[in-house]
Copies of this chain bind each other. A is one copy, B any other.
Amino acid sequence: MISPAIADFLDTRSAPTPFVVIDLGVVTSRYDDLAAVLPGVELCYAVKANPGEAVVDRLAQRGSSFDVASPGEIDLVLGLGVDPAQISYGNTIKKQRDIAYAAARGIRRYTVDSDIELEKVLAEVIDPIICVRLFHDCNGADWPLSRKFGCGAADAARLVRRAADAGCEVGLSFHVGSQQRHLSAWDEPLQVCASAARAAGVTLDFVNLGGGFPGTYLDEMPPISAYGAAIMGAVDDAFPGGRPALLAEPGRYLVADAGVLHSEVVLVSRRDVDPRLWVYLDVGVFGGVAESLGESIRYRLRPTCAAPLSGDDDEVVLAGPTCDSADIMYDKTGYRMPVELAPGDTVDLISAGAYTTSYSAVGFNGFAPLGQYHVG
């Protein structure tokens, strides 16, 4: 549940809480596991999931490609010596000058979902590789996507045709939603990819399968091998004449289980306005646990008490340390904690390596941003 290297760090190092510890060995093994079940698929790590330099560096050494969202992420990845050919600028929302910035650094792969974005890329990049993102309605995802990204099959066919006519290599992408629990989620969008390509009269140079591979939270998910089998089968169903080149954009899967967020209990109180026990940690919604929003991502928790345990526990509400009333992490999930839990005790959020440190506020309420250490 907690890797030996992280357990050792927590036992022997005294660092001010809250912080995340990442076991780079787990990152590596997750990368290898995913590569094994998605044979021949180019894995582009979604840097936004955890932009820790050591994380990116380890993945780069392992041969990973990278999905980036901004010039800042481009600088990070290139600064570690990654070949620009291994970088995909997957954000569909890019300033024209940021596209120029990327192009000047040799990046050729860009994702678009509208004419205006395609035009920006065609204006700035010599010989671009265009990925058109399809909208997909994400049933079964714990952190569902919205209509913010992607276009329908009709727009996609038109954009692919337009990019091909401009001489570009072209492909399609979609995203089934982060922390996707349904193995069949890839079936329908892959069929849409195939039909949009037929409608466009274009042979796709590649298909980008997006992300959605899960971290290990409270709810049990299928094993990664089942994802691989389902997805490769769905590809073969959609493209019976032969697989196009394939990419995927894993983020959460590679880093979530590699991290533990170590926090301290600041206050435990039961007040006459609420029968429930409130537990206040030194990390909360604005300190990096933003994915508790709507209680959609529900971490496994490990409280460690100084007092001897009776074995009795109590249902708790979990909140953060700021003066903001919205800074409540879990009000409905029904977490339970030992009745002995007291200020100064610690609570570890397990599998908290994804979407924590980078979501942290820069200094809300005067608290420092969530720190990150690397082991392994």
Q: Nearest Cβ in chain B — how far from A248, in angstroms?
A: 15
Instruction: Indicate how many identical chains form the complex.
Output: 2
**Is residue A140 contacting chain B, with contact meaning CB distance below 8 A?**
no
Which residues of chain B are within 8 angstroms of A146 by Cβ–Cβ distance?
325-326, 328
Known: A73-B365, A364-B359. A96 touches B271 (CB 8 A): no
Contact B343 A148 (CB under 8 A): no
- Can you offer 20 A-B residue contacts whose CB atoms are under 8 A? A47-B366, A51-B366, A70-B365, A72-B366, A74-B366, A92-B267, A93-B267, A93-B319, A95-B343, A96-B344, A115-B269, A117-B269, A146-B328, A147-B278, A148-B278, A148-B327, A149-B325, A154-B272, A360-B361, A362-B370
Q: Nearest Cβ in chain B — how far from A299, in angstroms?
A: 17
**Is residue A266 contacting chain B, with contact meaning CB distance below 8 A?**
yes
Contact of A266 among B95, B325, B359 (CB under 8 A): B95
Contact B116 A328 (CB under 8 A): no
Of residues 81 to 117 in A, which have CB atoms within 8 Å of B's CB atoms? 90-96, 113-117
**Is residue A25 contacting chain B, with contact meaning CB distance below 8 A?**
no
Of residues 55 to 88 in A, which have CB atoms within 8 Å of B's CB atoms? 68-76
Of residues 16 to 53 in A, which have CB atoms within 8 Å of B's CB atoms? 46-48, 51
**Is residue A1 contacting chain B, with contact meaning CB distance below 8 A?**
no
Q: Which residue of B lies closest to A116 (CB)?
A: B269
Please give the residue numbers on chain A whose beta carbons come within 8 Å of chain B beta carbons, in ascending order: 46-48, 51, 68-76, 90-96, 113-117, 120, 135, 143-152, 154-155, 264, 266-274, 278, 280, 282, 286, 290, 293, 319, 321-328, 343-344, 357-370
10 additional contacts (CB under 8 A) given A70-B367, A71-B366, A114-B270: A69-B323, A70-B365, A95-B343, A96-B343, A115-B269, A146-B326, A148-B278, A148-B325, A155-B271, A360-B361
Contact B367 A117 (CB under 8 A): no
Q: Nearest Cβ in chain B — how far from A290, in angstroms?
A: 8
Contact B366 A73 (CB under 8 A): yes
**Chain A interface main SS type:** loop
Contact B358 A69 (CB under 8 A): no
Contact A150 B96 (CB under 8 A): no
Which residues of chain B are within 8 angstroms of A70 by Cβ–Cβ distance?
321, 365-367
Contact of A48 among B273, B359, B366 (CB under 8 A): B366
Which residues of chain B are within 8 angstroms of A149 by Cβ–Cβ distance?
323, 325
Q: Nearest Cβ in chain B — how far from A286, in angstroms?
A: 7
Which residues of chain B are within 8 angstroms of A343 by Cβ–Cβ distance?
95-96, 116, 120
Which residues of chain B are within 8 angstroms of A117 by Cβ–Cβ distance?
267, 269
Q: Nearest Cβ in chain B — how far from A130, in angstroms?
A: 16
Which residues of chain B are within 8 angstroms of A293 by Cβ–Cβ distance?
326
Contact A280 B151 (CB under 8 A): no
Contact B328 A91 (CB under 8 A): no
Contact A147 B273 (CB under 8 A): yes
Which residues of chain B are within 8 angstroms of A360 by Cβ–Cβ distance?
361-362
Contact A152 B114 (CB under 8 A): no
Contact B68 A366 (CB under 8 A): yes
Contact B151 A48 (CB under 8 A): no
A74, B367: Cα distance in complex, Å: 11
